[in-house]
Amino acid sequence: MLKGQVVSGDFRRIVMRIKANEGVEIGELLVIENNEKILLQVFDLLYGSQISPQNLELVAGLNLEEGNFHLLDQELRNYQLALLKPLLSIGQQSKLSKKLPSFFSTVREVTKEDLSFITTPQHPLFLGKLRNGSKELDFNIYLPGKDVLSHHVLIPASTGKGKSNMLMCILWDLASKDYAGLLVLDPHDEYYGRTGLGLKDHPFKHKVSYYTPSAPPVGTRTLKIHLSKIKPEHFQGAIFLTDPQRQCLHAYHRKFKELWIRAIFEERHIDGVAFHEDTIAVVKRKLISLLHLDFDEGRLSCQGIFDDIAGENTVADICQELEQGKIVIIDTSYFSGAIEILVGSIISSEILERYKYYKKTGQLHDKPVISVVLEEAPRVLGKQVLEQGANIFETIAREGRKFNVGLLAITQLPSEIPKSILANMNTKIILGLEMNAERQAVIESSPQDLSQDDRNIASLDKGEALVTSTFTRFAVPVKIPLFKEFAKGEKSNVKVEYTGFGNS
C-alpha cells in the first residue's frame, strides 16, 4: 500500500509527504524500493500546507464563527509530513543504509517478504510479534538467547507498562529450552504461580525449581541457608558497613573460616588484631538484625532462613539446578530488601566462582548460560550503592560475559545506574518510559542510534517494546503477547523437547 512520497530532508531526516487519508504512526516501518530496497522508520509527524499560517488561521476562524467554510483542492493544499530515518538497505544481505533515496521516491508499507532477512537464530529467545506502529504483524521476533543472556539484558519501563508480563513470557519460553538457567529473585511471589497461572503449569514444569520460606507447595523446597555459606563480601550492597566493621568481618572470617559468625558473637580473640568494643557491638547488632539471630547464654538461635543446622546443601543444590539449565525461583516476598540481596549475593557468587573454574578447566562450553534476574536493579547497581564498594552484581555486569554468567536487570530508573554498567547491558528491551531523564539514559547507552526515538519511546503503550541489541541489525519494534494467551498457546503446541545438561 502506497503511503507517501519523499520530498526533502537529509540522511538523518528524510521528509515524506503522506498520501491523503493514509494513516501513518510514529514507529511505523516503511519501505522505499528503487534501485535498492531501503527500510525506514517514522520518528516524527507534522503538518504541512501550501497556505500561509495567517490564512490558515483565517480559514479556521471562518469555520468556527461562520461555519462550513471549505478550501478548494483541500487535500492538495493541506497535508501531513512524516520524518523518516533510514535503517537498512535490504538485499541478499542486509546492511546499514548509506545512501539517500531519490527525490519523489514512493514509500510503501512494509510486508513480511521485506523482512525475510530476519531469520530464527540458534538458541532462539522468543520476544513477541513484530510491531508496525500500533499494528501487530504475523512475524515472530527471536533473539539469539545464549548470546543475549550472557551479555546482559536491561528491561527499563515505567510502572504499568508490562514488565512482569514481559518477564513471565521470557521465563515461560526459556522453560522449554536447555541452553540457559535462570536465577529469579521474586519479590512479589508471582512467577511460580502459587495462586494463579505461572511456571508451575508449564509442560516442562520439572525444569522449574521453587524455594520459599513459608509453607512450600508439594514438590517445592523450603528455603534454608546454613550460616557457614555466608562470607563477608556477600554483605556488600545489602547493608552499610564502615571500614572498621568490614575489616572486623574479614578478620574473623580469615581466622575462623566457616565458624566466623559464631566466633564474633562469642568475641573470640584474634592474635595480633584488636577491634574496639563498640565496633564488635555494632557488628553483632547488624548480624542479629539482618540474619534474625539471637545469642543468649552462649547459645545461638536462628529465627529466619539462615540456620546453623539446616540448609547446608541449599546453595550447592541451587547451583546444580542452574547448571542443568533449570529456572530457579526464590520467593523473597517475605524478606526485607537487604535479605533478598544477601541471598542473591550468596548464590551469584558461588555460580560465578564455579563458572570461572569451568573456564579454567575447559568445561565451560558444556554448560548452559546462567542469568540472574534482578528486579529494581538500582538497589545493587545504583550509583550511591556502588560508591560504598563493588558487589557481586557489579562484578557480573563488568566481567560475567567472559564466563557465560549474565544479568537480566529490571528497573524504572535506568538513570540511577552508572553509564559504564548501562553500556555493558548489550540488549535493552524498552517498554515505555514517561520521564525524559530515564529515556535519555537508555538512549545514550543503546547499541543502536536512538537519538531520534525519544517520542517513539515516550509513546509506547502497555505491551509495546523497542528492542535494541548488538545482536540485531536495527532497533526492532515488538508487541509482547499477553502472558495468559501466550501460555495457553504454547501449552497446546510445544515444539521444543527438553534434553537437559545432566549432572556435572
C-alpha cell at 160: 504499568
- 63 and 173: one domain? no
pLDDT confidence of residue 275: 87
- 175 and 302: one domain? no
pLDDT confidence of residue 92: 66
4 contacts 109 by C-beta, under 8 angstroms: no
Q: Is the pLDDT of residue 191 over 60?
A: yes
- 450 and 431: one domain? yes
Residue where one domain finishes, among candidates 59, 93, 115 = 115
- 189 and 243: one domain? no
Taking residues 81-109, what's their average pLDDT? 87
Q: Spell out the residues 6+ positions from residue 83 whose beta carbon is closer than 8 angstroms to its own.
A: 9, 13, 14, 15, 16, 42, 43, 44, 45, 46, 452
Q: Is the pLDDT of residue 497 over 60?
A: no
* Percentage with pLDDT > 70 across the chain: 97
Rounded distance between C-alpha atoms, residue 234 and residue 349, angstroms: 8
- 12 and 92: one domain? yes
Rounded distance between C-alpha atoms, residue 418 and residue 385, angstroms: 11
pLDDT confidence of residue 119: 86
- 487 and 411: one domain? yes
Q: Is the pLDDT of residue 466 over 90?
A: yes
Q: Is residue 136 part of a domain?
A: yes
pLDDT confidence of residue 493: 59
- 111 and 134: one domain? no
What single string gives the DSSP state of each residue in 129-173? EEEETTEEEEEEEEEEHHHHHHT-EEEE--TTSSHHHHHHHHHHH
Alpha helices (runs of H) in 142-296, residue ranges in sequence order: 145-150, 163-174, 243-256, 260-265, 277-291
Query: Is the whole-model pTM more than 0.75?
Result: yes
**Torsion angle, CA of 206/208/213/218, rounded to 10 degrees?**
-30
Q: Is the pLDDT of residue 437 over 50?
A: yes
- 103 and 179: one domain? no
Q: Is residue 502 part of a domain?
A: no
Q: Is residue 167 part of a domain?
A: yes
The per-residue pLDDT for range 286-335, each reduced to its tens digit, is: 999 999 998 887 788 888 899 999 999 999 999 999 999 999 999 999 88
Q: Is the pLDDT of residue 101 over 50?
A: yes
288 contacts 295 by C-beta, under 8 angstroms: yes
- Phi, psi for 177 (deg, rounded to 5): -115, 160
Residue where one domain finishes, among candidates 287, 306, 325 = 306
The per-residue pLDDT for range 381-428, each reduced to its tens digit, is: 999 889 888 899 999 999 999 999 999 999 999 999 999 999 999 999
The per-residue pLDDT for range 213-265, each reduced to its tens digit, is: 988 999 999 999 999 999 999 999 888 899 999 999 999 999 999 999 999 99
Q: Identify any residues that bridge with 13 across adjacent strands, giving them in sequence order.
A: 10
- 415 and 482: one domain? yes
Burial 280-299 (b: 16+ CB within 10 A, else e): bebbbebbeebbbbebeeee
**Residue 165, domain CATH:** 3.40.50.300
Left (φ > 0), alpha (ψ -120 to 50) or beta: where does 237 sit?
left
Q: Is residue 497 part of a domain?
A: no
- 163 and 71: one domain? no
Left (φ > 0), alpha (ψ -120 to 50) or beta: where does 396 sit?
alpha
- 391 and 366: one domain? yes
Lookup result for grid cell 535506568: 414
pLDDT confidence of residue 170: 96
Number of independent structural domains in the chain: 3
Lookup result for grid cell 537464530: 121
- The conformation of residue 410, written as its DSSP 8-state character, comes to E
> Domain range holding 255?
228-306
pLDDT confidence of residue 38: 92
Q: Is the pLDDT of residue 442 over 80?
A: yes
Q: Predicted confidence band at 64 (pLDDT cuts at 50, 70, 90)?
A: confident
